[in-house]
Amino acid sequence: MSEKIIAKELEILKYWQDNKIFEKSVKKDAPKGEYVFYDGPPFATGTPHYGHIIASIEKDVVPRYWTMKGYRVERRWGWDCHGLPIENLVEKELGFKSKKEIETMGVAEFNETCRLKVLQYVQEWKKTIPRLGRWVDMENPYSTMDLDYMESVWWVFKQLWDRDLIYKDYKSMHVCPRCETTLSQQEVSEGYKDITDISVIAKFELLDLEPVEGSKTYLLAWTTTPWTLPGNVALAMGEKINYVKVEFENNFYILSEANLETIFADQIYKKIEPVKVKDLEGKKYQPLFPYFQNVELENKQNLYTIQVGDFVTDNEGTGIVHIAPAFGEDDMNLGREKSLPFIQHVKLDGHFVDEVKDFAGLNVKPIENPQSTDIEIIKYLAAKNLLFKKEKFTHSYPHCWRCDTPLLNYATSSWFVKVTAIKQKAIEYAKEINWSPAHIKEGRFGKWLEGARDWSISRQRFWASVIPVWKSDDNNYICIGSVEELEKLSGQKVTDLHKHILDEITFEKDGKTYKRIPDVLDTWFDSGSMPYAQMHYPFENKEKFEQNFPAEFIAEAAEQARSWFYYMHILAVGIMDRPAYKNVIGHGIVLAEDGKKMSKRLKNYPDPNVILDKYGADALRIYMLGSPVMEAQNLNFAESGVKEAMQKNVMLLENVLSFYQLYNSDANIRMHANDTNSTNVLDRWVVAKLHQLILEVTESMDSYDLVKSVRPIRDFINELSTWYVRRSRDRFRDNDQPAIDTLGYVLANLAKVIAPFMPFMAEHIYQELNLGESVHLDTWPLADQKLIDKKLLEQMEAARQIVEKGLAARAQVGIKIRQPLRSYTIQLAKDVSPEIKNIILDELNVKELLVGEEKLDTKIDHDLELEGILRESIRQINQLRKEAGLTIQDRIIIYQQDLDEVVEKFGEELKQATLADEIKNEEFGEMKKVGEGSLGIEKFN
């Protein structure tokens, strides 16, 4: 059947395309107005993976639902084109290992290569996304490298500039030495890995003391970054820490008393006296490395001195910290506070400067062996008798999110968005946003907002939106917010806003020459500007944008709480004074079945296109929508799960539809429950169940809880097939019109309910029932509270639980269901109607249901056994009749060895020979002969 399902999906896909059903859904009457959602653009530097698949499913389900609810939902695709992902890809193709090779090649040629490569997989995306059933305009996409988009990014920057929310500063921040650029707080958070490093306790000789013959006094300072020691300018002690001097191997050592036993474990030492911090503050010590002793430095009088820092603790180490202001935030702050010299002995590319003669040119944290340079430093200290102790330790260390290079904490200049100035407002506005799952609001997103710092937005790279700031020789700055403004100032026509173009554009103003600053923008600034830039706001679509901001809905991975969700929110608060969106769905991460990250190299996951070709889009959609990934948890993707989703949802519905079509001869579907004219308990139950489903799905979808929307649908499909249809088969065979009408009514409405989630199957049912041009152009069904008979639903649920227990009791004693039993005794939690009681009796194949302590009467009822055998024969013969293409009116010859005996015994034992004859004639059809032989039939003329 799977081949039939795939063929049907492809047929429906073609139907949608040929008849422009998506376009019609956008253009049709929308009595409730516009519904806007923001679609985060993916990179087209690779093919779609399951992270893209789950996001696309979410972004299809929600717009389909709100379209059916009467809104106009425009859906426009976008492409993310800038930044390190494409730069690194091009560098790899060119064989480049460093930034200098790009500069040698020329920025213009490098950028144009990026432009050519960035959309190389577009056709693969345009195949996969529609096949998934997603409706979105991919023929008229926006692109972050388009002139219009980039101009709106400039406008956003200018708004922040005019509000005094942009500034330049020199700070210690994380940099990638390979990419030679600064990174934001969020980018740093993406790349933490557990690695093994080496910590060092170094010996700093104290100079300003009365000498003791044959002995020296050392301060013991601990560091986890030995490569920073050549840049040491001071030592810091804590004012509230108790220090002590000890004698060990003819020398004296100063360290925190709390760490004494740990540092001198298994060593014999003598405690001499406590040491007061104020007695050491300002005193000099001998540097470990001599490289900068004779170099002219500002504030050199404070070089190699002991200082007091409130950040110093004795939780670990020695309670004394080595200070290198060029390589740490606390160090830099102390350096400014105490007017310490500044030594930057490492270049931005991660290599020692030439002054560090013993290690000149070494990479301080090489990607292939991050410990190697630390080991060389340790060897040097050991040779100079300046190493007290070393040990390996494992810790979480930040790496570049794109190239995996270990990052460095490095002091450099950067442009910042003053997030701290609007932080409280951002926190307050965040309270208005609805999250699914809800815990992200106060959890991942809320905590990230609380810890938000000023955002470093400048990057020392090439293929990106530029910072639109021009600078004069006397450090006067002009921020430009539009192409028109730049054209007026420069007198040049501007058709491209990339770095290699704009770096050549200068202009004169007030007698000064202005040249653009070299930095480009963090790509997240591009992404965060998407609400405005995709519409080229405010240069176009001004009224349309302002009437529909903020967006109703966005969806991406929950980890975007620290990136796209966050940056959009910050920019919106900064320039629009409100949130950027009202509702968010944050999903988890899709992993391989073994729990590992999906890897093309390891080939540990099935290609999405293969899954679509094998099981269909609806199966993949319903599998992922009902999985833990929708609750921001990880999903270990299993192909067997998709197969099961197909079998238990798509195939089951297909079977129900086929069953209905087998017995329905009326082209008119009863669209209202009161048209079915049924008093049957199963009909009333399934209608009540349907309207309860509509109510549940509507409430969950209105709350953007997709997993709570899908799971009841899966349950309903199962109950419809395995309970309602199975229990009603005899009625259908008897051409019971209320049963047929009820099933048609349920299918017609169910098609609408599943339309956002299983769009192909929904369309298939809708078309087969001749209900209109497309289910996706229809309206969302309304739940009729009057039809939700809660008492009936509770009784039927109780009945199903009784049946489940009864079947389990049978299994426990090894009595199969075909063997009828006299009674089943159970404690009824709820009273059940006689109709439902009969269902229980039939399901359990027992004569009587008794109330009391649970007990299964295991005595077999032979009368019922004979009836069961006969009914099984009827079922088998009618199946053979169907397979032979014969109708109930065709006379047949039946061959079965013991059938005549069974019929006779059945009639004799029950004293109902007429019933037996009736069953023979009406159930089997007109028979000519019952003879010897294995079961079989043939037409008798």
Instruction: Evaluate whether 405 touches 367 at the Cβ level (below 8 Å).
Output: yes
Q: How far apart are CA 25 and CA 401, in angstroms?
A: 40
Residues facing 248 on adjacent strands: 251
Contact in structure between 182 and 456 (CB atoms under 8 Å): yes
- Measured CA angle at 401 (ends 397, 406), to 5 deg: 40
Backbone φ and ψ for 193, nearest 5 degrees, come out as: -140, 150
- Rounded CA-CA distance 793/715 in Å is 14
CB 129 within 8 A of CB 56: yes
- φ, ψ of residue 148 to 5 degrees: the values are -60, -45
Q: Residue 69 half-sphere exposure, CB side, CA atoms within 13 Å?
A: 18
Print burial letters for 854-866: b (CB count within 10 Å at least 16), e (below 16). Answer: eebeeeebeebeb
Cα angle, residue 567 at apex, residues 561 and 571 outer, rounded to 5°: 140
Residues with catalytic function = 41, 80, 524, 560, 564, 597, 600
Number of residues that this document lists for the chain: 941
CA angle, 473 then 475 then 477, to 5°? 110
Degrees to nearest 5, angle at CA 488 with 486 and 489: 65
Treating both helix axes as pointing N-terminal to C-terminal, what angle do 419-430 and 564-576 enclose, rounded to 10 degrees?
100
Phi and psi at 219, nearest 5°, equal: -95, 135
Burial classification of residue 835, based on how many CB atoms lie within 10 Å of its CB (0-12 exposed, 13-18 middle, 19 or more buried): middle
Which tokens hold the place of 233? Answer: 């300018």
Reduced to 3 states, what is the DSSP secondary structure of residue 318? coil
Tell me the two tokens of residue 83: 């930044």
**Tokens at residue 226, please?**
């030995």
Angle (nearest 5°) at CA 574 between 568 and 580: 35
Euclidean distance between CA atoms 419 and 404, whole angstroms: 28
